[in-house]
């Protein structure tokens, strides 16, 4: 049997990352035959996540190998990362040699700051889609948006959908279906309210008022700087 070619998958890690933006696609993509997963950060120090625990990078930016697939997760730490030149330069440098350039949630804005979304269709977390024109992108209302080699996905859990979509593009539907079955990704949520199009209006407005109005304003200010 022919051995699967090695595929190097580099995930950007930064303080304040939403851990599921990283761990959900990582759990699917690590099952791609030949996959080699890299967690790259500015240093090898533990990376604090939004859940109160930390993730250890495997490489710093200088030592990280060239990605075949570059994945940029999101999180509230994106606001600070937008102003970090080393982070943006790393994204741009890796993207130049990658076959696929991808993001989960607000990671799209880091791709945009690196000049990778100009004129492209893209998506991000629903609370931030109105900001995509600030990085030259056109919002497309979809959970996963493919525009050539650039694949963006919506908020948090959509990272799993993006990963399976990408496996299907690379290795065929059967390979993606096998991974989906292996991880028993068979969602049956208790509520049909995972997007503002379906959630009760009072729930959406309450969440925006408590969290996302201020968070989107901070993101907009960072994008303007």
Tokens read off for 205? 């407005």
- At 41 the three-state DSSP class reads strand
Q: Is 30 in the active site? A: no
Is the pLDDT confidence value at 4 over 80?
Answer: no
| pLDDT-derived band at 1, boundaries 50, 70, 90 | low
Task: Give me the mean pLDDT over the 121-132 stretch.
Answer: 98
pTM score, whole prediction: 0.96
Q: How many CB atoms lie within 10 A of CB 175?
A: 17
* pLDDT surpasses 70 at 75: yes
- 10 Å CB burial of residue 92 (0-12, 13-18, 19+) is middle
**Mind listing the domains of the chain with CATH numbers?**
7-190 (3.40.50.880)
145-201 pLDDT tens trace = 999 999 999 999 999 999 999 999 999 999 999 999 999 999 999 998 999 999 999
Average predicted confidence (pLDDT) for the chain: 96
CA 184 to chain CA mean position, Å = 21
Backbone torsion region of residue 4, taken as left when φ is above 0, otherwise alpha when ψ lies between -120 and 50, otherwise beta: beta
For 23-41, what is each residue's pLDDT tens digit?
A: 999 999 999 999 999 999 9
The encoded tokens of residue 93 equal 């440098």
Catalytic pick among 30, 51, 71, 105: 105
């Amino acid at each position: 049997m022919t051995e699967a070619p090695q595929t190097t998958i580099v995930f950007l890690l930064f303080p304040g990352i939403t851990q599921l933006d990283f761990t959900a696609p990582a759990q699917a993509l690590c099952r791609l035959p030949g996959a080699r997963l890299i967690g790259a950060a500015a240093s090898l120090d533990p990376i604090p996540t939004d859940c109160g625990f930390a993730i250890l990078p495997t490489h710093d930016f200088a030592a990280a190998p060239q990605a075949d697939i570059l994945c940029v997760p999101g999180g509230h730490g994106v606001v600070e990362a937008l102003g970090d030149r080393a982070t943006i330069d790393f994204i741009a440098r890796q993207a130049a040699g990658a076959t696929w350039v991808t993001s989960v949630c607000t990671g799209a804005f880091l791709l945009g700051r690196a000049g990778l979304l100009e004129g492209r269709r893209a998506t991000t977390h629903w609370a931030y889609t109105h900001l995509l024109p600030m990085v030259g992108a056109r919002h497309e209302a979809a959970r996963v948006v493919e525009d050539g080699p650039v694949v963006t996905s919506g908020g948090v859990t959509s990272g799993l959908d993006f990963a399976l979509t990408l496996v299907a593009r690379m290795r065929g539907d059967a390979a993606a279906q096998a991974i989906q079955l292996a991880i028993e990704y068979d969602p049956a949520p208790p509520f049909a309210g995972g997007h503002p199009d379906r959630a009760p209006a009072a729930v959406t407005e309450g969440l925006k008022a408590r969290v996302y109005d201020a968070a989107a304003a901070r993101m907009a200010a960072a994008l303007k700087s």
